[in-house]
Structure 1
Amino acid sequence: MHGLSGTGLEPGFPAPWWAAAPLAEAATHADLPLRASELKRAGGYLEGRPREDFVAGRILVRVLAAGLLNRALPPRRRILPGELELTQYCPQCASTAHGTPSLGLPGAGDSFTLSYARTAGWLLLGLAPGTDRLGVDLADLDDRAFAPGDGGMLEDYAYAPEERAQLELLPEPERQRLRARWWALKEAVAKAGGEGLAGEGGIPAVAGKNRHPLLGSPGIRVLDLEPESIDSLGTMLPAHLVGSIVWAPTA
């Protein structure tokens, strides 16, 4: 397993490309329409913040992806967010209503692997060329689930025995921070593996001898996003967020 550094937008198209933005930024792109299928899915969320966050997230996925593509690809006509086609496919049940997302640029023949996450009012987006396997996630250091007491409850089911043993050696707040970092990595691994956290293998282990096989596969790359990391478009993550990007390039 190899680490990554830098923004992922240097010459030569190293991947993954990533970007983050507050969901509130979607309000500046209110003229960007969602597809009929997205509006239908939005209707399944509770009115208010859950539905608003879903809609804002879908808008920002296209906005950030267009920004990344316009910087990372060779010179061509400017790509507009509304041109991008966002699709999903679940290999387990063949559904297109959920599952692994991908991004297409109609008319250009280009397709990209996509992964995104919404946490604490922010969206994180990862993008890689072709059929690479990719997963991203964010975790909020201020979330009570990672705090002393409440965090212990999370450890009971979300962390493997070897992970819990490592956590027990740490003082707070180091323990709280590692809980959050590992949770983001677990989510990213589950997405990159195409299984989700509800997969047959359960919540993936990311440390110890029984860690998820994907983390030991040839060519795997993992990028840890620390608070105030700078994304590929120059935006800084806020001080309370950590994240993880797991990228498995195709041979």
Structure 2
Amino acid sequence: MLMHGQTAPKADARQTPPWWAAAPLADAAAHPEVGLNPAELARAGGYVAGRPRNDFVAGRVLVRVLAADVLNRAMPQGLEMPPVLPGELELTQHCPQCASTSHGNPRLQLPGRGQGFSLSYARTAGWVLLALAPGNDLLGVDMADSSDPAFASGDGELLEDYAFAPAERRHLESLAAPERRNLRARWWALKEAVAKASGDGLAGEDGIPVVAGDRRHRLLGDQGTQTIELDSGTPDTRGNLLPSSLLGSIVWAPGATA
């Protein structure tokens, strides 16, 4: 979404939009057979023991579970294409800025099948959300909880000052409080999704991405980029819905690579 009520250019009809899925982190408990790779285990150790660490581990388990489920629904199967198992999926990362493999844009690989997928995921309010697209397209996804008190902050408070550009603030100020709160959350999810898709991050050279007005991020200005809004009325690839307070965004640039 570029401005409230506007839509992004549509992708070529021949291109399949990204698949996406969401689930509560608690669902990870049903998959004790799914483990993390050594790099993920090392990163998990950097989180505070208890809920922060548990949520990280649960999120990475569910990324594999949801990705496998989505792929099995989307891809033809048979004797030459057995079902995809969560444990066989390889998650890798690559930073387009420094070429590091310890951070950056995630990728999903199916070992032995010669297939790779663009991948993006997010954890918020006890849920995990992922998006998946064949190939190496730029892809970013994020979600925000509109019930978070941060999105109800008044004008001039910290979130408003650092998160939104002047044109965005002017538009937010023109809205009634409930609509302003929802749009703050939706724009924040979109900013995060743009930061992930572009590989710039929120601390990139241009700072937090601008998603409305003349100075919006270059990725949103590209005619090939598609933005997909997610909410409780939008079923995921598996037919499931997000909770009513969660708002998400997918930013997808088919044909563009990092």
Q: Place the TM-score, normalised by the shorter chain, in its bin.
A: over 0.9
Contact 2:67–2:86 under 8 Å retained in 1: yes
Contact 1:16–1:127 under 8 Å retained in 2: yes
Separation in structure 2 between the aligned mates of residue 87 and residue 138 of structure 1, nearest angstrom: 22
TM-score calculated relative to the size of structure 1: 0.93
**Residues 16-58 of structure 1: CA deviation (Å, up to 9, x unaligned):** 0000000000000012111122111100011111100110010
Contact 2:155–2:173 under 8 Å retained in 1: no
Within a 5 Å distance, the mapping from 1:158-177 to structure 2 comes to 158-177=163-182
Counterpart residue identity of residue 2, structure 1: P
Within a 5 Å distance, the mapping from 1:9-28 to structure 2 comes to 14-28=16-30
Separation in structure 1 between the aligned mates of residue 19 and residue 108 of structure 2, nearest angstrom: 13
Confirm whether residue 2 of structure 1 aligns to residue 4 of structure 2: no
Q: Pick one of 40, 43, 49 that aligns with 2:42.
A: 40
Q: Structure 1's 161 and 229: CA in aligned 2 closer, same or farther, altered over 3 A?
A: same
What is the DSSP-based 3-state SS (H/G/I as helix, E as strand, rest coil) of the residue aligned with 1:173? Answer: helix
Q: Pick one of 79, 86, 89 that aligns with 2:91.
A: 86
Within a 5 Å distance, the mapping from 1:87-236 to structure 2 comes to 87-149=92-154, 152-236=157-241
Counterpart residue identity of residue 128, structure 1: A
Q: Structure 1's 150 and 37: CA in aligned 2 closer, same or farther, altered over 3 A?
A: farther
Q: Pick one of 46, 52, 55 that aligns with 2:54.
A: 52
Separation in structure 1 between the aligned mates of residue 146 and residue 43 of structure 2, nearest angstrom: 29
Runs of 5+ unmatched residues, structure 2: 1-7
**Residues 68-96 of structure 1: CA deviation (Å, up to 9, x unaligned):** 11111122210100000000111222221
Runs of 5+ unmatched residues, structure 1: 5-11
Separation in structure 2 between the aligned mates of residue 164 and residue 152 of structure 1, nearest angstrom: 11
Separation in structure 2 between the aligned mates of residue 214 and residue 149 of structure 1, nearest angstrom: 29
* Cα offset, 1:153, TM superposition: 2.3
What is the DSSP-based 3-state SS (H/G/I as helix, E as strand, rest coil) of the residue aligned with 2:181? Answer: helix
Stretches (4+) displaced over 4 A: none
Counterpart residue identity of residue 221, structure 1: Q
* Cα offset, 1:97, TM superposition: 1.4
Separation in structure 1 between the aligned mates of residue 239 and residue 245 of structure 2, nearest angstrom: 18
What is the DSSP-based 3-state SS (H/G/I as helix, E as strand, rest coil) of the residue aligned with 2:177? Answer: coil
Separation in structure 1 between the aligned mates of residue 141 and residue 16 of structure 2, nearest angstrom: 16
Cross-structure match for 1:30: 32
Contact 2:10–2:224 under 8 Å retained in 1: no
Counterpart residue identity of residue 97, structure 1: S
RMSD: 1.6
TM-score calculated relative to the size of structure 2: 0.91
